[in-house]
Amino acid sequence: MEKISFFSADFRDGRIRIGNKTYPAGTFAAHLLNQYYKNDTAARISAYVMNNWAVQKSLTKGYLNARLLKKTGEDILEILNALPKLKPFNQFDIESERQLISETFTEENGDYIVEYFRRKSFILAMDDGAIVNDLSPEYDEDLFNGAEELLSLIWQKLYFYDDISSQMREAFDGLIEFCNRLDEAERFDEPHLLPIALDIFGNEKLDITSEFVAMRKTAKSKTMVTARRMFFDNYYSFVLTDFFEGLHYGHYPRRCPICKRYFLMTSARRQVYCNGTAPYTLKGKPITCRKYAARMKEKELSEGNPINPIYKSRYSAIRVEQKRSTITAEFAAMARKVAKEYWQKAKYDDNYANGQYKADMKRENLYMETDRRLKQK
Ligand SMILES: [Zn+2]
């Protein structure tokens, strides 16, 4: 079977370029995780494989139902309605593919192939049929060539659209498992994440061919750099390459516990929440998941742990002492600065908030540190 040259993408420095757009490697894996159930993308793509299978089965046996062929074409057109919701298919020329499908999967073409099958089986049924092929009155060179070409195109499309749903499913399941197992990693970097990824996806060989090409490092730069151009035979190879290339650069998908969407982490920091818009508002205004989480944590801390009251009372004590001239204005300003640092640290660091924070905020300790800093000046 002739391989489908599906599409190509350029890789360089942890970025992937398709057409004239570039993305951090790993973007498409994270996108699949979010898009799979959204708008029923996967369901709409996988719901139409039934007729496809029936046509494949009948073609293998050497017959065809022309109406079924047309029906399968209609199913593929349905898939083409959903496919552009999945990146990178949104960048493809869906309209010309749509046209090719409507022109190929017709009842007329079905009848044409049936006629070819009829003639061919007649010839094959004759004694020495294969040898006297072109002597038979049933043989028609144009008809045979045309039908064989048409069949090859039909097979190609049947395979592609049949596979795309199973490949989506396989990649999706694996990526979900990866996200669920993230916490097994001691650190979120390539050496710690790669074993999990390989355990899930194995050392499977992907259908890829590649070559080196020259490209501009950025859209504005004049110098050229080397990039790897990869050609993918199918969606699975593409999305897995994107995922592994991302891992190599420390990018990995993870799920935001607040909005439940997947996002691509591009640093080894243990960032848990995404930068997207949270499903909640704060005082009626939209807020990011990260900010929302920080606010919740603040609230939790101020309820369970008195970091705010400690800070507030220390702050007003400094003001009182300044008023009474027990301390200078310069000293008071530095003391407030130091106290604010401790308070901010306590907000983001639970261990500190529950331990050293209280001691640091005591008058004598705070003033000792203030004194030390003023002397450093
Ligand atoms: Zn989020």
* CA proximity to 48, closest of 165, 199, 157, 187: 165
| Mean pLDDT to the nearest integer, 211-219 | 80
| Mean pLDDT to the nearest integer, 210-220 | 80
- The alpha carbon torsion through 58, 59, 65, 70 (nearest 10 deg) reads 120
Ligand 1 midpoint to CA 38 (Å) = 16
pLDDT band at 284 (very low <50, low <70, confident <90, very high): confident
Tokens of residue 178, six digits: 């990866």
Higher pLDDT, 204 or 179: 179
In this prediction, what percent of the chain has a pLDDT beyond 70?
Answer: 92
If you search the block for the tokens 């079924």, which residue do you land on?
68
Ligand 1 midpoint to CA 282 (Å) = 15
pLDDT band at 3 (very low <50, low <70, confident <90, very high): very low
**CA–CA gap between residue 8 and residue 148 (Å, rounded):** 28
Ligand 1 midpoint to CA 33 (Å) = 14
Q: Ion ligand 1 — residues with CB under 5 Å?
A: 256, 258-259, 274, 276, 289
pLDDT of residue 6: 54
- The alpha carbon torsion through 186, 15, 3, 172 (nearest 10 deg) reads 40
118, amino acid identity: R
Domain ranges of the chain: 37-167, 305-376
- The alpha carbon torsion through 18, 23, 25, 27 (nearest 10 deg) reads -100
3 state SS for 263-322: EEECCCCCCCCCCCEEEEEECCEEEEHHHHHHHHHHHHHHHHCCHHHHHHHHHHHHHHHH
